[in-house]
Structure 1
Amino acid sequence: MTTVALRHARVRYGPLEALHGVTLAAPGPGLTVLLGRNGSGRTTVLRALAGTVALSGGAVVWDGADVTGVPAYERARRGLCLVPERRAVFGSLTVRENLDLVSSRHDPALDAYPQLRPLLERRAGTLSGGEQRMLALSRVLLARARVVLVDEPVQGMSPPVAARTYQLLSGLDACVVIAEQRLPTALRGRPAFVCELRRGAVVFAGEAGELPR
């Protein structure tokens, strides 16, 4: 079992504090959904867990160990994968080359997203937004990460592909944390832990079925 957590975490961007002592835990294998409007702090939570922004206070804990001072590249080596909302693929490389960076065996990714098969020789930067999200998540499937952090995973996808994506993320043998503006309909009937943020603070934490409508 893998767990990542923030304890009394504070993050500042210049004079502005984006997280005000946030405490939350994401257990795995399983899905945790961070909810909040733009500016709520959900993206900053993902970045803090990944180590791409520094804490000004508090701690990041992974499987009971304080990793606050561990750099992002080392967290990646230990099995953490961050898929940001933007620039999640290498645009100058082809789809095939993007996948090759993770594994020479592409079948699991292409079986999950068969739409990518005819695009293997295309440069990733020429793909649509939804196709780029599929490619970024395909790389996650090949990486077999222990912790997966994804900011708005289905942006630009068609409803059927989005539903398939949530199914794939829910089925990973990993601690999966996704950031969304609102709880997706596809997840309302699935086991998921939900944390709602507002203005840099947690205002709700519980099972998806307990979330106020």
Structure 2
Amino acid sequence: MSVEIALRAAHVRYGPLEALHGVDLPVPSGTVTVLLGRNGSGRTTVLRALAGTVPLSAGHVLWRDADVTRLHAHHRARRGLCFVPDRRAVYATLTVAENLGLAAPTRDFAPAIDAYPELRPLLARRAGTLSGGEQRMLALSRALLAPAPVVLVDEPALGMSPAVAARTYRLLSGLCERGAAVVVAEQRPPAGLPRGTLAHELRRGTLSFSGELAELTSRAPATQKPPSGRA
């Protein structure tokens, strides 16, 4: 497996507090990589460091061996990095159709509507009026409408029902089949991911485990639960 993007000895500080303590994280292409950890463990910060929305205080971000540490987030996006944060991932004052149009200027929404038919009757609604699960579907549609070599998603199934969450992970796995490097952050190991899925567990800004997800879940069977959903 070739490495698409990676952190090397990455440190991130928020004021006087250091959130990442020298993290090394290779992200292979064509594979789902899962970042696990409790709130405050550093998993979201890893995504932000890869996306360029937080700067490193030390270390490097390498993209296909090129150092992009100083490359701003919008430049990384133009090069093909799609980052879906856990909050404020849609434009609340725009309609669902207008949000989709930002990712699909040709207004071909078919891949998004096929993936999430729940969005079809909502196209004229303002995104801010949608439920949490519906907003999540809309946000994830960006990755489906504008395929990118790097896709970073913080808590993909947040607010979704178990059935929609399982569908979402199948969709993300499908991106890997097209060669994308997909990184997701979750508190618990998600169900339904393919064999060979990689996992990194973070605790207080350092990696406590790196390996295949199956190995981690076999060591801690009590954590094997699908993401809880609300709607």
> Which band: TM-score by shorter chain?
over 0.9
Between the aligned partners of 1:2 and 1:99, the Cα distance in structure 2 is 30
**Alignment partner, residue 18 of structure 1:** 19
1:94-136 CA distance string (max 9 Å, x none): 0000001111100011000000000000000000000000000
Letter in 2 for 1:97: E
| SS of residue paired to 2:183 | strand
Letter in 1 for 2:213: A
**Alignment partner, residue 146 of structure 1:** 149
Q: What's the Cα RMSD here? A: 1.0
Shift of 1:145: 1.0
Between the aligned partners of 2:64 and 2:215, the Cα distance in structure 1 is 26
| SS of residue paired to 1:44 | helix
**Alignment partner, residue 205 of structure 1:** 210
Aligned counterparts, 1:35-184, within 5 A: 35-103=36-104, 104-172=107-175, 173=178, 174-184=180-190
Letter in 1 for 2:64: D
Q: TM-score, normalised by structure 2?
A: 0.90
The 1:36/1:141 distance shift into structure 2, 3 A limit, reads same
Number of aligned pairs? 212
| SS of residue paired to 1:137 | helix
Query: Percent of aligned positions with the same letter in both sequences?
Result: 68
Unaligned runs of 5+ in 1: none
Shift of 1:2: 5.6
**Alignment partner, residue 8 of structure 2:** 7
Between the aligned partners of 2:123 and 2:3, the Cα distance in structure 1 is 33
Paired residues of 2:166 and 2:191 also in contact (CA < 8 A): no
Between the aligned partners of 1:203 and 1:58, the Cα distance in structure 2 is 19
Unaligned runs of 5+ in 2: 221-231
1:161-189 CA distance string (max 9 Å, x none): 000000000110211000000101223x5
Letter in 2 for 1:176: V
Q: Which runs of 4+ in 1 moved over 2 A?
A: none
Paired residues of 2:32 and 2:182 also in contact (CA < 8 A): yes
Between the aligned partners of 2:196 and 2:116, the Cα distance in structure 1 is 23
Between the aligned partners of 2:31 and 2:45, the Cα distance in structure 1 is 21
Paired residues of 1:2 and 1:29 also in contact (CA < 8 A): no
| SS of residue paired to 2:103 | coil
Between the aligned partners of 2:27 and 2:3, the Cα distance in structure 1 is 9
Between the aligned partners of 1:3 and 1:127, the Cα distance in structure 2 is 34
| SS of residue paired to 1:186 | coil
